[in-house]
Amino acid sequence: MNLVISQNMIANDVFVFLAVFSRLGAMIMLFPALGSSAIPAQVRLVLALSVSAVTMPVVASSFPALPDTPLAMTGFIVLEVTIGTIIGAVVRLVMSALQVAGTIIAFQTGLAFAQNFDPAQDSQSAIYASFLSITVMTLIFVTDLHHLLIGAMHQSYTVFPPGASLAWGELSELMVNTISETFVLGVQMATPFIAVGLLFYLGVGVLSRLMPQVQIFFVAMPANIWLGLLIFFLTISTMVMWFMDYFEAFLIRFLA
């Protein structure tokens, strides 16, 4: 009898650990900074296993009884992976504000064709967007915001209890709101460049009408690039800190 009870306890613990690892692993692979492709996959796997081992004893009491059939176990694990993927994807969507801001800045300064690899999005993007992404990911570690990401993993079990059905309507609304908010944030971060670019091209347009024999846009392009770099130098600290404040507030609001 004792042997049977011990075997059931071991099986239950293994299943709980697998479920916790399924959710947290999916979150870590998608979270900004922690899930960046710049971090080797082996390091991310070890981090996921370590965080799962620490989190499992804390959240084990919230798990239902061990499912009776392999099909039920598989469904439970798939649900946990889905929850982790949704949370990680929503948090990663916030980083798209940097893509929007960087792309707008690149177009306004004439460097839209200057592409570089963006580790936050795992794709090629405008060089301004790549620089902003690398800067923000560095600041996430410097300011200890990655601790908030790790804390969000534990808090997810309060917002999304294990085995509970998902409210797909609310999740869809959350996705749409997040995309709209990050787009607005990206445009707001690039507002100085939009305003200066509008005035600059307006002045260049007037000069082109006054001196039609001169290729004024060709002459003004270097000035536009230097002006954009100057404005970027003057505003980057404000843009980055504005984004960091929004990112922190979003995490607290999302998993409150």
Distance CA 128, CA 126 (A): 5
pLDDT tens by residue, 163-175: 777 777 778 888 8
Listed range (3-17, 66-80, 157-171, 185-199) with the worst mean pLDDT: 3-17
- At residue 15, the pLDDT reads 84
**Torsion on CA atoms 18, 21, 25, 27, rounded to nearest 10:** 120
Per the CB < 8 A criterion, the answer to whether 109 and 227 are in contact is: yes
Per the CB < 8 A criterion, the answer to whether 156 and 23 are in contact is: yes
- At residue 3, the pLDDT reads 47
Best CA proximity match to 189, nearest among 241, 145, 229: 241
pLDDT tens by residue, 79-129: 888 888 888 888 888 888 888 898 888 888 877 777 776 666 666 777 888
- At residue 212, the pLDDT reads 72
- Give the residue, 8 or 209, on which the prediction is more confident: 209
The whole domain housing 114 covers: 2-254
How many structural domains compose the chain? 1
